[in-house]
Amino acid sequence: MLNQAKTAVGMAARRVGRSLDGMGAALETHPYTEKLLASTRSVGHKGKVPSTAQASFVAPNASVIGDVKVGEGASLWYGSVVRGDVNHVVIGAGSSVGDSAVVHVAGLAGNKPTIVGNNVVIGPRATIHACTLKDDCMVGAGATVMDGATVSSGAMVAPGATVSPNITVPTGQLWAGTPAVYVRDISELEAASIVTTAAETQALSLAHASECEKGPLEIELDERKWDEKASRDPTYVFQVPEEGDDNLAYNDVEGQGVPGRVFNTNLRSPDVEYEPPTYEGDMAAGNDAEEGGKMPHVAAEAKA
């Protein structure tokens, strides 16, 4: 009863806020409304919050809702949707949910959660609904696995196939068609490719996670590095140092770092003590978020 009252008050306050905002916009000559899209990477539902801390990668535009548990090293790719609203979803370690794939459950038409085992590969635009995918199996792109169905360990569902409700795809078999039927046994090479694909996808997800978590300063630094490297002739003796390159002195000119860029030097601010300029250090000093992009001598004066 108390929760219902809170919900009613919240909805009323939201309506009042929208009305006031509309009145303010109407007073403007050229009103502008900026539409912000809230992140849906982790959305609670009826007190249930997704557990994705162990996942190696959850795409920025993925939607994970409700009672969802994602195992270690699993990855949810761009545009994928995992809904644990009326039941729970478990995605095992090392498994991947491809681009725009949907994983859902059943609660009204039967108590059927979705259980995805370890090292399972779910292709892009696939639909996994209230079923069970055992360890080391693969569901192809655009395929559908319906309520109560089971894809056994080491089995493959072909792209675009539809596995009917309560059907079991046995171990080591390839099923295809709509409705899906047995086609043939998979080869040893195909069975090994499931494990290989799962491992490769997990490794790729780490790279995507690293890139997606970068802040604005890191992105700008990467752009500068790329621009300098792309515009520098490969035969030129001085090259932009690669990450982890210990031979930085090779690219140094009289203590001023990589040529082709103006650094903050003692000639500009001789009374300021700071570390010798480097490519990364110059950007960090000149674009410090807290100092509003001030140069070192300006920042020092402000602090004084």
Cα-Cα-Cα-Cα dihedral of 270, 276, 279, 280, to 10°?
-110
Residue 276: per-residue pLDDT = 52
Torsion over CA: 217, 223, 224, 226 (sign):
positive
In this structure, is residue 288 part of a structural domain? Answer: no
Token code pair at residue 132 = 């069970």
Q: Cβ(253)–Cβ(276) under 8 Å?
A: no
Q: Residue 174: beta bridge partners?
A: 156, 184
In this structure, is residue 226 part of a structural domain? Answer: no
Residue 194: per-residue pLDDT = 95
Residue 164: per-residue pLDDT = 96
Question: Which residue range is the domain that position 69 belongs to?
Answer: 42-192
Q: Cβ(89)–Cβ(83) under 8 Å?
A: yes
Q: Residue 76: beta bridge partners?
A: 58, 97
Query: How many CB atoms are closer than 10 A to CB 82?
Result: 26
The total of structural domains in the chain comes to 1
User: In degrees, to the nearest 5, what angle opens at C-alpha 184 toward C-alphas 178 and 189?
Assistant: 120
Q: Which CATH number fits the domain that encloses residue 140?
A: 2.160.10.10
Residue 2: per-residue pLDDT = 78
In this structure, is residue 50 part of a structural domain? Answer: yes
Residue 300: per-residue pLDDT = 47
3-state secondary structure of 24: helix
In this structure, is residue 146 part of a structural domain? Answer: yes
Chunked mean pLDDT (size 10), the chain, 304 residues: 82 91 84 80 90 90 95 95 94 96 86 94 96 96 96 96 96 95 95 95 94 90 84 66 55 57 55 55 47 43 48
In this structure, is residue 277 part of a structural domain? Answer: no
In this structure, is residue 283 part of a structural domain? Answer: no
In this structure, is residue 258 part of a structural domain? Answer: no
In this structure, is residue 296 part of a structural domain? Answer: no
